[in-house]
Structure 1
Amino acid sequence: MGSRSLRTLWMVAIVGILSACSTQVPLEEPTSRPPVSGSIEVPPPDANEPLPAPIQQAKSRWVPVHWSSVPGLEQDNLADAWNAWIKSCGRPPAPFAQFCSEVRRMSMATTQEQREWMVARFQPYRVESLDGNPDGMLTSYFEPMLDGARQPGNGYSIPLYKAPASLGARKPWYSRQQIDTLPQAQAELQDKVIAWVSDPVDAMVLHIQGSGRVRVQEADGSVRMIRVAYAATNDHPYKSIGKWLLDQGLVRDATWPGIKAWIAANPARINELLWSNPRYVFFKEEPLSALDAEFGPNGAQGVPLTPGRSIAVDRASIPYGTPVWLSSTGPTVQLNRLVMAQDTGSAILGAVRADYFAGWGHEAGDFAGRVKQPLRLWVLWPRHLAKR
């Protein structure tokens, strides 16, 4: 996923319930804003005008539709989505850069004014696979929160490493098991520890998500929150620990409660479980100011993720920075909303595929672990680029 590709490798089988404070998963919308004087005047599109031609991408086909076909358009309050859109304007892709001044101006408009502007400026296209299937899958990911310390001891024994200097010279680098057991691997990681955490499974969840927040105790006894962001991997393939348990016939329930129950019953085999995933993630430490704490880590587009309004996609189907209408119905949640394609991931593959950024902490992690449900997507493409 670009700078954080492992984050979207999150699967239902390895959700961690982390004992930390958490953000509320953003499912309820804020109330509408008052009208803004001097809003941008835009003429509505003609509902009877002919639709443009379909657009072909490497892995998808975009089929034009009228706005009346977009589900839930009138119900979505767009304020949070506008925050994500403004973030995208920090590094806008070429087709959308010209709209950024208007996006910023419309940030204080009412939801109705924002909706009218969006409908006038953009043409919706239903995303389909190359064989015409509009149905796909929605999953979710999050930013774990852990407690940690700068020095080992008092239960903190699991290191979170920065990338070693020799990483690029050896491909693949040492596997997870080798990193844990080989003296030469550990020697190359000397002085590369960002922080120590207490639970190896929670550390694995952090590796899978690719980024997280650590409430770290400094050497002087003070405590502060930092972000550990994805920096690199050891170039080994990712393997699901839940799938390993299923393949070994050790569990029939590969959800997190099932995995947790197996770990509790088999503490001597925890390394065997963790080593079944040879991929290892190295991190970089980032400060977490009050402003930074309101958003997630940078996605592959290079802008901070917005809870409930940022998604990871297959970039061969949908380019970064594209506004997307997302529709997904249960069993976990019903969503009809505007989101921004701001991230990607090696497990997020296919035409109609999205990973929904839920936020950070316990509630977001619990939510992300339960989401695996049907999905449809509509990209919103500039009208002036549509070939009619």
Structure 2
Amino acid sequence: MIKALWAAAFAGVVMSGTDTEAQGEPVHRLLDFQELDGWEDDDHRAALDVFLTTCRDMKDPDWRALCAAAADQSDAKAFFELFFRPVLIEDGADALFTGYFEPELEGAREPSDRYRYPIYALPPEAREASPWLTRRDILSGEDMRDRGLEIAWVDDPVELFFLQVQGSGRVRLPGGGFLRVGYGGANGHPYRSIGKELVRRGVYEPHQVSAQVIKNWVRRNPEEGEELLFHNPSYVFFREVSEVPAHLGPLGAMNRSVTTGRSIAVDPAHTPLGAPVWVEKDGADPIRRLMVAQDTGSAIKGAQRADIFFGTGDQAGLAAGRLKDPGRMIVLMPIQRAYALLPENVQ
């Protein structure tokens, strides 16, 4: 499962305070499809195809009935307009869109002079004890060695650190194959932001910090960089999920592949997983598109908070890292469910 932690990776350094704002009771307001900016111009068929990848896993009868109906639809736009109603859910916090992606690392199944940094599976004792060893203890001690816990070896410890921040990723193997890993557990220590630590030390101003800036600084300062990574005691373990074909996206919270530009991570306290969501992201590159809530993340809290999946690899990472924009998101709900959310005096 992708953890969708990218937006939280710098713990308030590159993000606003939206995730920690006090949120009020949610208010629901029914909209017409004509009120959705850009609705007429979207590729509704693409959105319906993504909806179909996870709707069969939804539990409630009304959603399952719509999923069955969706399989036979030739007019995707008409399907959404006939069976759903747009619901704007607000909790008093400003809307915020960020992005996440699947890292791609260079690695191998066997160690070598180039591939020296192991991706570890979760050891049994870490499952039973929380917290377990710190990052420093795991990487500097003997507890992990010669136990067969290595899933693969990669060539860059900094990229491996950010793989742990992200929670899942893909390893490009020699010869062109791929190995995909997903979140397998953690050592139980809290995440501490290394970006925030660089700001505290006076190395950068908050607005200067990004994943690429941190990577470059660690590589330029290898000894200090190693200590900086140890500042975060949290350590993430992985499991191999290579049953997911390389051409598909990684697994989201619904245990299905997420889709570039059509899948979002949401707060399931407000938005049902599997629901279509109309995204109106403002900013430098506006987005008007029907997406599907197929993932979650610890940084994604609130009714107007979403993380957009940008795909796999460095370019996706750069695009995801730049995204921090306002706008609004509107959840498409089955008709009866939509009306049931309204206060009695407006139904």
Indicate whether the TM-score tops 0.5.
yes
- 2:170 aligned with 1:213: yes
Q: May I ask how many residue pairs the two structures share in their alignment? A: 326
Residue 281 of structure 1: aligned partner:
236
Instruction: Note if 1:120 corresponds to 2:89.
Output: no
CA–CA separation in structure 2 for the residues paired with 1:354 and 1:70: 17
Q: Does residue 318 in structure 1 map to residue 318 in structure 2?
A: no
Residues 97-116 of structure 1 mapped to structure 2, 5 A cutoff: 97-106=64-73, 109=74, 113-116=75-78
- Kept in 1, the 8 Å contact 2:45–2:77? The answer is no
Counterpart residue type for residue 214 of structure 1: V
Q: Distance in 1 between matches of 2:334 and 2:56?
A: 18
Contact 1:8 1:355 in 2 (8 A): no
Give the secondary-structure state (helix, strand or coil) at the position aligned to 1:282: strand
Asked if structure 1 preserves the Cα contact closer than 8 Å seen for 2:194 and 2:228, the reply is yes
Q: What's the offset of the Cα at 1:235? A: 1.7
2:153 aligned counterpart, secondary structure: strand
Secondary structure of 1:354 counterpart: strand
Quote how far apart the aligned CAs of 1:79 are. Answer: 2.6
Q: Which residue of 1 aligns with 2:63?
A: 96
Q: Which amino acid aligns with 1:228?
A: V
Q: What's the offset of the Cα at 1:61?
A: 2.6
Instruction: For 1:80 and 1:363, locate their aligned partners in 2 and report how far apart those are by CA, in whole Å.
Output: 22
How far residue 11 of structure 1 moved from its aligned partner, in angstroms, is 4.7
Residue 372 (1) aligns with residue 327 (2): no
Q: Does 1:191 align with 2:148?
A: yes
1:160 aligned to 119, 125, 131, which one? 119
Deviations 1:168-196 (A, max 9, x none): 2211121111111122x325x72100001
Aligned with residue 295 of structure 1, among 235, 248, 265 = 248
| Among candidates 24, 32, 46, match of residue 80 of structure 1 | 46
Partners of 1:10 and 1:209 within 8 A in 2: no
Among all aligned residue pairs of Structure 1 and Structure 2, give the percentage whose two residues are the same amino acid: 37
Distance 1:59 1:295 in 2: 38
TM-score after normalising by structure 1: 0.79
Q: Which residue of 2 aligns with 1:71?
A: 37
Separation (CA, whole Å) in 1 of partners of 2:25 and 2:292: 19
Q: Offset of 1:315 from its aligned partner?
A: 1.2
Match of residue 141 from structure 1 = 100
Q: Considering only aligned residues, what root-mean-square deviation do their CA atoms show, in Å?
A: 2.2
Output the CA distance in 2 between the equivalents of 1:9 and 1:213.
15
Name the counterpart of 1:259: 214
8 Å CA contact 2:279–2:290 kept in 1: the answer is yes
Change in 2 beyond 3 A, CA 1:61/1:175 = farther
Q: Is the 8 A contact 2:218 2:226 kept in 1?
A: no
SS of match in other structure, 1:243: helix
State how far apart, in whole Å, the 1-side matches of 2:294 and 2:24 are: 18
Encode CA deviations 1:110-157: one digit per residue, 9 max, x unaligned.
Answer: xxx31122112111111201x4x5x31111111111111122222211
SS in 1 for 2:184: strand
Aligned equivalent of 1:25: none
CA 261–302 in structure 1, closer or farther in 2 if over 3 Å, else same: closer
1:246 to 199, 204, 220: 199
CA distance in 1, matches of 2:63, 2:186: 32
Query: What are the superposed Cα offsets for residues 185-243 of structure 1, whole Å, 9 maximum, x if unpaired?
Result: 325x72100001011111111111111111224xxxx6521111111111221222211
Deviation at 1:354, TM superposition (A): 0.4
d(CA) in 2 for partners of 1:163, 1:12: 22
The alpha-carbon distance between structure 1 residues 12 and 231, as it changes in their structure 2 partners (threshold 3 A), is closer
Looking at structure 1, the residues matched to 97 and 133 of structure 2 have their Cα atoms a distance apart, in angstroms, of 33
What stretches of structure 1 of length at least 5 have no aligned partner?
15-56
Q: Displaced runs of 4+ in structure 1, greater than 4 A?
A: 11-14
1:8 partnered with 2:5 = yes
* Structure 2 CA distance for partners of 1:375 and 1:277, relative to 1, 3 Å: farther
Residues in 1 aligned to 2:306 and 2:299: alpha-carbon distance in whole angstroms: 10
Distance 1:103 1:294, change over 3 A: farther
Instruction: Report what 2:133 is aligned to.
Output: 174
Give the 3 Å change call, closer, same or farther, for CA 257–228 of structure 1 in structure 2. Answer: closer
Instruction: Report how far residue 78 of structure 1 moved.
Output: 1.7
SS of structure 1 residue aligned to 2:39: coil
Aligned residue number for residue 359 of structure 1: 311
- 8 Å CA contact 2:56, 2:64 repeated in 1: no
> How far has the Cα of 1:270 moved from its partner?
1.5
Q: CA shift at 1:99, angstroms? A: 0.8
The residue aligned with 1:39 is none
Please give the alpha-carbon distance, in whole angstroms, between the structure 2 residues aligned to 1:70 and 1:358.
23
- The answer to whether the 8 A contact 1:59-1:350 is kept is no
How far the C-alpha of 1:13 sits from its partner, in A, is 5.5
Matching of residue 151 in structure 1 with residue 110 in structure 2: yes
Tell whether the 8 Å contact from 1:149 to 1:156 is kept in structure 2 after alignment: yes
Where in structure 2 are there 5+ consecutive unaligned residues? 12-22, 341-346
Q: Distance in 1 between matches of 2:168 and 2:212?
A: 23
SS of the residue aligned with 1:180? helix
**Residue identity in the other structure for 2:151:** I
